[in-house]
Amino acid sequence: MSTPSRKGQLSRDEVAHLAHLARLAVTDEELDLFAGQLAAVLDAVAQVGKAAVEDVPPTTHAVPMTNVMREDVVRPSLPRDVVLAGAPAAEDGRIRVPRILQEEV
């Protein structure tokens, strides 16, 4: 992930946008609170940038492995009642969810 360019700053709008993407309902007071808290988190993470790592290639994996694959073989699935038991609601063997978000035009 990239380092935030504006140290210690995160606008209310940015927090509100993130909250929307995460489908979280956040109050106005919480926006201020989280903006401050998240800015502190970003600052802490940004310290990584201070490390002298010019000769270290960026990586996303802790293990130096490639091409790990499984055979194309069918294995048993979970019984449906077990699957549906984990859902808040079910109907006709399917998981029931509230109306999917309004079409945003």
Partner 1 sequence: MSTDKLVDFDEVLTRYEPVIGLETHVELGTVSKMFCGCSTTFGAEPNTQTCPVCLGLPGSLPAANAVAIESAIRIGLALGCRIATWSRFSRKNYFYPDIPKGFQTTQYDEPFSTAGHLDVEVDGETYRVEIERVHLEEDTGKNLHVGGATGRIHGADHSLIDYNRAGIPLVEIVTRPIPGAGAKAPEVAKAYVAELREILLALGVSEVKMEQGNLRCDVNVSLAPIGSLEWGTRTETKNVNSLRSVERAVRFEMRRQAAVLDDGGRIVQETRHFHEDTGSTSPGRSKEEATDYRYFPEPDLVPIAPDEEWVEKLAAALPELPAARRTRLSEEWGIAPTEMAWLVNAGAVELVSDTVAAGATPADARKWWLGELARRANDANVELAELAVTPAQVAELVALVGAGTINDQLARQTLDGVLAGEGSPTEVVASRGLAVMGESDELVAAVDAAIEGNPDVAEKVRGGKVQAIGALVGAVMKTTRGKADAATVKRMLEARLTAG
Scan for tokens 């130096």, then name that residue: 64
CB 56 within 8 A of CB 17: no
By CB under 8 A, which span of 8-16, 36-44, 45-53, 90-98 interacts with partner 1?
A: 90-98
Least distance from partner 1 to the Cβ atom of residue 81, Å: 10
| 35 neighbors 15 (Cβ within 8 angstroms) | yes
Q: Work out whether 97 is an interface residue with partner 1 (CB under 8 A).
A: yes
| Per CB under 8 A, 60 contacts partner 1 | yes
For residue 13, how many C-alpha atoms fall within 13 Å in the half-sphere facing its CB? 0
Residue numbers of the site for partner 1 (CB under 8 A)? 1, 21-23, 60-61, 63, 65-78, 80, 83-84, 86, 91-101, 103-105
